[in-house]
A and B are shown apart, each in its own frame.
Chain A
Amino acid sequence: MIDFHLDRRSGVSTYVQLVQQVKHALRLGLLKPGDRLPTATEVVAALAINPNTVLKAYRELEREGLVSARPGLGTFVERTLGQASPVDRARLRRQLTGWVRSAYAAGMVREDVEALFTAAIRDAAQEGVA
């Protein structure tokens, strides 16, 4: 099960935040195929947001093939995100944490690290790796 939360000052629209949180949970393995997403009523009662926002987010996830709605039962996770095995993921995360630490040691601040990380992703994309 996933607990949604809202960052009201992020400027990101509520429905996008919900979509991102589901995807994030899928990537981290917190949600697995077969898991049920909370009903619109449950989300709405917790976050005090418009029910249509939740439905819109779920429709978006459904459109991407990540979840499917089973009438009368709820919305269920269909597939997960990120193909790496848990072992690989743990190793990569460890390496990255080490890299971040050395970046801080070199005098970088969080924004520098993020900028560098984004640039690295872009470089890799241009090389056709991703």
Chain B
Amino acid sequence: MIWLTWRQHRWQLIGIGALLAVYWGYLLSAGVRARDALSGCASLGGDAHVPPSCFEASNTVDATFNTMGEVVMFGNLLPLAMGMFVGAPLISRELELGTYRLAFTQSVSRARWLAVKLGALAAAAALLGAVTGAVVSWSRAGFGSMFAAAPFGDDVVFSQSGAVPAATWVFVLLVGAAIGVLVRRTTMAMAVTLVVLPLAFAGLILLRPHYMPPAERLVDGGDMIQDGVSRNDSRGWIFSTSYVDSSGRKLTADAAGALCQDPANTWPTAECMDRLGLRQRIVYQPADRYPWFQLIEIGLLLAASGALTVTIRRQLTRYP
């Protein structure tokens, strides 16, 4: 059965493997370049004596990092290939060509046929996803903390960090296979998969901030977060900031800025906050929740994959 799975899907798997190899190769080379450029400037991002060569290195790293950011964004679409070219045809092609009558009249039950096919392909998909996660993490680490902030709160990077991509790749395979068993026409199943998967990803991005209720914290000027700079920070995934005056009244950034009467800034500065006794209210997901978010996302993807497996199995053992 493993032989059959490989024989039927080898070209798609080789194609996807080749595509990923190019992606991994680029990421690794970018990571190596960043490490080389920064090796002479250990203090980059600090305020000590910066040698002039480091400005050049900084430019290189800056350019590489921007390009890599775009490539990683595109990398989020790679799982679509697994869903379209392996998942969608998995069963629809058997139904369309009529070869299910050959496959299901051998001495192997349909349940086992399905278990081995999905099992072997899901293992391959998980492996590809896991390697992708490791490569993305390693390459980004090469740029140092100034460029590459934590993936927490970064929609583009979160889904390709840690173990999440392994679950994503399994999920896309099963979405494709489930669409195939329902649509029963290969081309149609591929087209539907191409539409459904981006919608599923978008839904996941919308859902992600709500995995856990956000935490709140009041900080003094010394610990404040500059408004509108970044969604992710060393403290975690920042949802919003607002201000509280000494009497406990809530203020928006603009209102607080107006109180400061600082011509250089519309928003309060640390100096102004301390002067007026303002405090900043931060609504956020603390950085130590990152592993939990990873686990929750993996759990969601695997639970959906499990439900899809049950659907496929029920459809297939009932067919037609």
Direct contact of A and B (CB under 8 A): no
A interface list, Cβ under 8 A from B = none
